[in-house]
Each structure stands twice: as structure tokens, then as C-alpha cells.
Structure 1
């Protein structure tokens, strides 16, 4: 039975991915900073409280994985926060640092410690959750955009370094995904732009070829594919799951 670890997997996209992997027969272990959500995980999904941006916590987590599972087949580096929404002239430095710490440092730490488990086995899959913001940018979201571009660069480097050891790495780039998180993003962007939340949401949908937002299940389906043997020659790719976004400024 294959083993998957998902950071920030107790809510949102992470939880939907966890349920999809469990449904596909994987052993699933998720982390989250929210102890209450970890304690409420569905049966069959193991959870640990862990801040993905802190190396001592990640070291302890992967030590537990090595002890209890003896290895790891799939990593989903999913931990992320939206960061501050503001024009660059008003961007708070502490908010910038926090956003990069969770989104980019967290991805690096997950890859670092997963590689130490996967290299001896000469196999493994790393899936990084970036964003379409990491492909072309988003106004008023400089920290998030910078972090998600960084995740793609990290992924490509990891794919090059670890490919000779039988390890694949790819990034999923969701667009706007239905759920509480995008609701908060839309509220903040509407305030920054002097628009109504409904107008911002409609602009997001109108800026895609399919004229709708994605669902978490769409992202989970891509993760399952990338983890599968059907994707055995897919590595180093940043794959958008967004209905083909072509207008990024609603």
C-alpha cells in the first residue's frame, strides 16, 4: 500500500486530496497547524499537528514517518496562506515574510526531508501546490505571487536533482478554487480595489475559458494522476487546473 504525506491536509484542498488518496487505497498522513481540525479528521486518515514552516517540527514529523511507515512514496507540499492583500507601496514587510515562510520555506522543508526518505528507495513522487499566480502574477498579491513563483522554481530544481534517483516532482497550479479560502481572498481584493465581492468573483470566472471556478476535487484528481504510474514520464512540470485563465485582473 503506497504512503502519502500531505501538509496542511486537515482542511480545504488538502483535506479533499487526503480523502481522494484514501479512496484510492493509499495510507494517508496529513499535517496541519489547527489541532481541532486534526482531531476531527475522517477515520482512516492519520494526522499530526505541525507548522510546515518550522524545521524542528518538520524534522520531528519526518522522523515519525520514517519510524512508523519506514518510508514515503508521495509528498504533497500543500501548506500555504494567502498573505496580505495590498498595493506594493503599502505592503507590510512582516506579512511578506510570513507568507514566504509558510508557502515557500514550507515547501522546501517538506522536499528536503522527503528526499531523505525517498532517495534510499530510489523512487518517489513530490507534488507541490503552487498557483496560477505563480505562472503570471496577480495584482495586490505580491507576497503570495512571489512565493508561488518560487515554488515552481524549487520544484523544477528538485526534479532535476532527484530525477536520477527515480523521484519525480511536479507542481499543480490551481486557479480560483471554490471554498472558504477564495471567499476571504475575494473579500480582501474587493476592499483593496473598491469593488463588491460579487463583482470580483464574477470577474474571476469571466477570465477563464470555461467561465467557472474550479472545485477542490479538480485539484485532487490531478494529484492522483501525478502520483500514479500513468504519469511516470511527467516530471518538472507546472500544470494549471484553472479552466484556462486568460485574464488575471478582474
Structure 2
């Protein structure tokens, strides 16, 4: 029987890489996104839905549709935003709340509505996208780091609560991922630190023992592994895919 996976923010970036990897592995793919154009250009054989992950009504409707389509085996709660890049005293409360809403509330709502479907099947894999910012913290990224630390706490609790039901939960912590979203972070951080974009890029890369950024496919490959029977006893784990971060805020 074909396994079904839902990936939030699956129309572009890391989410798109995940969706393509699960598709190649033989899964039936469902994605949500708020980018209508990206959804339109996703493969037609994927189930595609517009949804704001921080809206309970949107998420409830998505999972009702998923249940009608045949249920759910794997959840990749991947939606996230970078949030502001500012010194803590300059962070607006509205920016803090919007960052928490997408990164943390979105993961919570996805898990909340996925679990009843997985319990019905007495199995499932929940994969939350955290970040190395959820392991080390990052200067000038307080809302994002706080949300990603909380995602790990959510995952650990889900693993304990849902293990008896045959449901596993794990978190992937990407490091700096090549792509448009990280490019925006680099530009904003360069401004905040009075550095050039290239200096900030080099700093992130040199902060890893492997000296490089990761790509979306690296995150996607880990997600497919965690969803597979090869990882049937892997749960409650925080797994970094980051080239081994050794210094999250190198000074150049």
C-alpha cells in the first residue's frame, strides 16, 4: 500500500526538495503552501493545497481533505520564516509573534491534526524542521532561535506521548541552506553587523567543520530516511544536517 506524506511549505525550497525526494521514493505526496504561483507549478500528480500553517481553521480543513484522500503516514512540518534580523532591543513584538506563529504554532497545529489520522493507522512518522539555531542560538535572530528551540521541545514531547501508539517523532536541524531564503538572511545580517554579504556567507561556511552550506536535497534525504522502516526505532532525536556546526557565530 502506498504511503502518504504531507509536507508543509512544500512548493519551494527545502519543502520542495522533500516532496521530490518522497515522490521519487514512491510516496503519495501532499503539499501545502501560501505561495499560489509555486503551488501552481508543482507536479500535477501531487495533492496541492493553499494553507496558512498558523491558522487552525486552515489546518483543520487540510487534514479533513487528507483524511478523505486516504489518511496520512508521514508528516513533515517544514513551514518556517526567517523572522527579523535585529538586536533584541530593536525587535518589534509583532515581528516576534509572527515568527513564533509560523515556526512554532505551525508545527504544533500540523502535529495536532495529523496525530488522530496516525493513531487510526497505529503508526506514523512526524518530522519537524528545526534548525541549528535551535541547538546553539544565533545573535540578532532571537525570535527564530527561540521558536526553533521550542520546536525541539515539542518534538521530544511528541516522541514520548506518541511512542505507545507506534508513532515516531524526530527533528531535523538544517544549517545554512543554499537558496533565496538564506540569501535574505545574509543580506539582513550583513546590515546588522556592518559587514559585507560575502563576509557573512564566509563566516557561516567557516563555522562548520566541512566548510560549506548544505543543499535542500541533503535535508530531504534525511527526511526520507527518518520516515522509512530503516529508522523504525529512531524517535525523539535531534539530527543536524549542517556540515557539522562548530561555531554558530564566527567573528571575521
Q: TM-score scaled by structure 1?
A: 0.99
Structure-1 separation of matches of 2:241 and 2:134: 12
Structure-2 separation of matches of 1:35 and 1:51: 12
Structure 1, residues 70-103: CA drift from partner, whole Å, max 9, x if none?
A: x100000001000011001111100000000000
User: Following superposition of structure 1 onto structure 2, how do residues 127-146 of structure 1 map, counting pairs within 5 Å?
Assistant: 127-146=127-146
Structure-2 separation of matches of 1:37 and 1:73: 24
The residue number in structure 2 matching 1:78 is 78
> Which ranges in structure 1 are unaligned for 5 or more consecutive residues?
none
Structure-2 separation of matches of 1:205 and 1:93: 31
The residue number in structure 1 matching 2:187 is 187
**Is 1:30 paired with 2:41?**
no
- Contact kept? 1:22, 1:44, Cα under 8 Å: no
Structure-2 separation of matches of 1:183 and 1:247: 20
User: Following superposition of structure 1 onto structure 2, how do residues 67-216 of structure 1 map, counting pairs within 5 Å?
Assistant: 67-69=68-70, 71-216=71-216
Q: How many residues align?
A: 249
- Contact kept? 1:4, 1:75, Cα under 8 Å: yes
Structure-2 separation of matches of 1:28 and 1:51: 18
Structure 1 stretches of 4+ moved >2 Å: none
- Contact kept? 1:62, 1:114, Cα under 8 Å: yes
Give 1:44 shift.
Answer: 2.3
Give 1:43 shift.
Answer: 3.4
> Which ranges in structure 2 are unaligned for 5 or more consecutive residues?
none
**Is 1:55 paired with 2:53?**
no
The residue number in structure 2 matching 1:236 is 236
Structure-2 separation of matches of 1:43 and 1:88: 44
Structure-2 separation of matches of 1:39 and 1:90: 37
2:162 is paired with a residue whose SS is helix
What is the RMSD of the two structures over their aligned residues, measured on CA atoms? Answer: 0.6
Structure-2 separation of matches of 1:21 and 1:239: 19
Q: Which moved more, 1:226-235 or 1:41-50?
A: 41-50
1:244 is paired with a residue whose SS is coil
